[in-house]
Amino acid sequence: MARRLPGLMRRTLGLAWRVDRVAVAVLLICQAASGLLGAFGLLATTGTIKALIASGHITDRLHQAIPSIAVVAGAAGLRSLLGITISALSSRISPRVAREAEMMLLDAATNAELTAYDRAGYNDRFDAADRGAEVSRDLIGQTQNVIASAASLVAAVVVLTALHPALLPLLVLAALPQGIASVRAARISYVTMVETFHDRRVLNLLRWYLVNKEPADQIRSGTMAPFLTHRYRTTGERVTTATNRAAWRSAKAYIVGAIASGLASALVWAAVVVLLATGHMSVASAGTAVFALSTAASGLHGIVGYGADLYRSGLYLDDWSRFLDEAGGHRLNRGNKSPAAPALVRAENLTYTYPGSDTPSLEKISLDFRRGEVVALVGENGSGKTTLSKILAGLYIPTEGAVTWDGTDTRDLDPAALWRETAVVPQSYARFPLSARENITLGQPHGGDEAVHAAAVASGAIDVLDDLRAGLDTLLAREMWGGQELSGGQWQRIAIARAFYRRSGLLVLDEPTSALDPRAEHRIFSGLRALARDRAVVLVSHRLANVAMADRIVVLDHGRIIQQGTFIELVADTAGLFHELWQLQNDRGIPNQRGSRFHG
């Protein structure tokens, strides 16, 4: 702890310095002044006692003591004022430090490569870091308490050394056992917190499923509540057991420390008595020693106690700073070239393996996607369609091979510039609790409401907007938040509108019409050809009738291309997977007019 505290305090003050230099400077000056005043006060105590116990009339003795009493009282008064200033400054800085730590965390998280989420334990480490950002609020108070205790201690030590040097080592001895106990307890509590992170995360998830509206119908119709609450209870009990065990172990450490410290303190007081009895110390000095010893003891206990708190917060802060490093390790660190809308997006011998996976999800893919063309990716579940579309959109970087935009490797492109040229409708799209306008513009408006309107017409979202209470200003969130709720298909129309609204050179649609009614779906596919005029379009769909309009259809199987061609060519290839899937999709036993069933 002794080794780590200075570094921790430096880091805390460094964080505080980023948010409010003036307040930190004033805080440190006030602390130093408070320490100095403490030493003056203690030294003046000797003068006071000496004057009071001298021989002579009480009025004369009081008269003689007045200057030193004035110094003691003045120092005490000034220290209180400084104390108030210090605590006001700490309360001013603390929340801002926490906010800064949180902002740094959010910045690191949002600027990390998407693939970071696929790494084992990344989310748990984010949770730990989040806790670190949260406790950073306490760091200023704890640092300030340690500095204040250290200032008192230094003042008392200076005085005690002047009185008798033997008192000092004894004092350190008295504080040591309690210090060790406090650090041990801090460690136990931290380790328990880390060990229970996973269970705590599970508890949060379970609570979300139990109380949120989204899964509420499935929980009820599936009579799942007893199962989930049982799981919640058993997980919660595991956390409680671990926490109780930690509390008991900490208490044991504290008891041992307190007994040892008590015995050592008795030794210190015995030493004062011996020094006094053997004439090695005057009565006035012994009186001052009593004050100085109690000041030093409380200073030492403060350093140890607050130091242990700071140490524990420091362990959490380590998680925070490790996460910043880790996310920093995944930081979007690509080239700085800004691409124009691409005329050609090319996959060259592309292989992609997810982190922690043994087998590649895509293997040796070589394909061209041209402006003005609609290319459809089809294949069975898990064949790699979504992964490929994400790589084309620069969301993942190939493990081997490359994706180039007009000849430039996506590794060399500035990711933000690349994404400005990209529009994606993913399989599961975000339902932002923002206004309808912001949900379509994603907070990056251009072209006024006419452009929003045009995208809404093309995507069919216009019907949704027409029914909103406050038009584009309507908050798309729960009724309870004063918003208006949309159906699944209505949300999907908004998600498509936001992709159409972007002036992008590459449009990726991953199952874009899964929730749409036939009319809305028809509108999207009949409008796609016009949209493809000035962009490359990548379309992923299981509904093979939808991909009939594509210029080229690429069939994937286990991460490899097994067929390519137009709809007519692929349907005609009776030995191919596409033909088989097409047959299966049309084989639904739909009754004909005579009541018998036909196939295909």
What is the distance between the alpha carbons of residues 73 and 65, in angstroms, rounded to a whole number?
12
Q: What are phi and psi of 560, to 5 degrees?
A: -125, 155
* Tokens (6 digits) for 432: 């932002």
In the structure encoding, which two tokens stand for residue 21, read together?
A: 């230099």
Nearer to ligand ATP, 175 or 367 (CB): 367
Strands 590-591 and 597-598: antiparallel
Which residue in the set 357, 366, 585, 586 belongs to the binding site for ligand ATP (CB under 6 A)? 357
Three-state DSSP state, 432: coil
Exposed / middle / buried, residue 352 (Cβ in 10 Å: 0-12, 13-18, 19+)? buried
The verdict on 379 binding ligand ATP (CB under 6 A) reads yes
The answer to whether residue 385 forms part of the interface with ligand ATP (CB under 6 A) is yes
- Phi, psi angle pair for 113, to nearest 5°: -60, 145
Beta carbons within 8 Å of 335's beta carbon, 6+ residues apart: 409, 411, 412, 413, 414
Among 56, 67, 95, 382, the residue binding ligand ATP under the rule CB under 6 A is 382
Q: Does 399 engage in binding with ligand ATP (CB under 6 A)?
A: no
Selected from 386, 399, 408, 564, the binder of ligand ATP by CB under 6 A is 386
Residues ≥6 apart with Cβ < 8 Å to 7: none
In the bound complex, what is the minimum distance in angstroms from residue 117's beta carbon to ligand ATP? 7
Nearest distance, CB of residue 514 and ligand ATP, angstroms: 10
Asked if 512 touches ligand ATP (CB under 6 A), the answer is: no
Q: Is 513 in the site for ligand ATP (CB under 6 A)?
A: no
* Residues 368, 401: Cα–Cα separation, whole Å: 14
CB of 99 to ligand ATP, least distance (A): 32
- The nearest distance, CB 555 to ligand ATP, in angstroms, is 11
How big is the chain by its Cα radius of gyration, in Å? 36
| Candidates 204-212, 282-290, 294-302, 381-389; binding stretch for ligand ATP (CB under 6 A) | 381-389
Closer Cβ to ligand ATP, 244 or 357, answer by number? 357
What is the smallest separation between the CB atom of 118 and ligand ATP, expressed in angstroms?
A: 4
In this complex, which beta carbon is closest to ligand ATP, that of residue 120 or of residue 575?
A: 120
Nearer CB in complex with ligand ATP: 120/530: 120
Please identify, among the stretches 154-162, 303-311, 378-386, 465-473, the one whose residues bind ligand ATP according to the rule CB under 6 A: 378-386
Residue 504 binds ligand ATP, judged by CB under 6 A = no
Q: Segment contacting ligand ATP (CB under 6 A): 232-240, 375-383, 398-406, 415-423? A: 375-383
- Structure token digits, residue 392: 């084309």
Stretch that binds ligand ATP, among 100-108, 271-279, 289-297, 353-361 (CB under 6 A): 353-361
Q: How far is the CB of 396 from ligand ATP (least distance, A)?
A: 10
Please answer whether residues 590 and 597 qualify as being in contact, where contact means their C-beta atoms are separated by less than 8 angstroms: yes
Contact pick of 144, 149, 235, 361 for ligand ATP (by CB under 6 A): 361
| C-alpha angle 410-331-135 in degrees, rounded to nearest 5 | 160
CB neighbours of residue 27 within 10 Å: 25
How many whole angstroms separate alpha carbon 390 and alpha carbon 397? Answer: 9
Among 564, 522, 204, 514, residue whose Cα is nearest residue 379:
564
Residue 380 beta carbon to ligand ATP: minimum distance, rounded to whole angstroms: 7
Minimum CB separation from ligand ATP for residue 124, in Å?
Answer: 16
SS3 490: helix
Residue type present at position 310: L
Considering only residues 302, 342, 384, 398, which one is a binding residue for ligand ATP as defined by CB under 6 A?
384
Q: Are 351 and 401 in contact (CB under 8 A)?
A: yes
DSSP 3-state assignment of 566? Answer: coil
For residues 254 and 354, which CB has a smaller minimum distance to ligand ATP in the complex? Answer: 354
Is residue 354 involved in binding ligand ATP (CB under 6 A)? yes
Nearer to ligand ATP, 387 or 439 (CB): 387
The binder of ligand ATP chosen from 196, 285, 387, 504 (CB under 6 A): 387
Check: CB of residue 295 under 8 Å from CB of residue 56.
Answer: no
**Using rule CB under 6 A, residue 383 touches ligand ATP:** yes
* Closest distance of CB 24 from ligand ATP, Å: 43
The residue within the footprint of ligand ATP, chosen from 55, 110, 336, 381 (CB under 6 A), is 381
The strand pairing partners of 376, in sequence order, are 539, 553
**585 sits near ligand ATP (criterion: CB under 6 A):** no
Q: Under the criterion CB under 6 A, does residue 123 sit at the interface with ligand ATP?
A: no
Find tokens 């108030």 and name the residue. Answer: 84
Q: Which is nearer to ligand ATP, 39 or 495 (CB)?
A: 495
SS3 labels along 165-229: CCHHHHHHHHHHHHHHHHHHHHHHHHHHHHHCHHHHHHHHHHHHHHHCHHHHHHHHHCCCHHHHH
**Closest to ligand ATP by CB, 198 or 560:** 560
In the bound state with ligand ATP, the residue whose beta carbon lies nearer, of 396 and 491, is: 396
What backbone phi and psi angles, to 5 degrees, belong to 181? -60, -45
Tokens of residue 551, six digits: 């210029």
Q: Closest CB to ligand ATP among 383 and 504?
A: 383
For the chain, what's the residue count?
Answer: 600
Selection from 254, 278, 240, 241 nearest residue 183 by Cα: 254
Residue (234 or 427) nearer to ligand ATP, CB: 427
Q: How far is the CB of 383 from ligand ATP (least distance, A)?
A: 4
Minimum Å gap between C-beta 244 and ligand ATP is: 37
In the bound state with ligand ATP, the residue whose beta carbon lies nearer, of 240 and 357, is 357
Contact, 539 vs 385, CB < 8 A?
no
Residues that bind ligand ATP (CB under 6 A): 118, 354, 357, 361, 379, 381-387
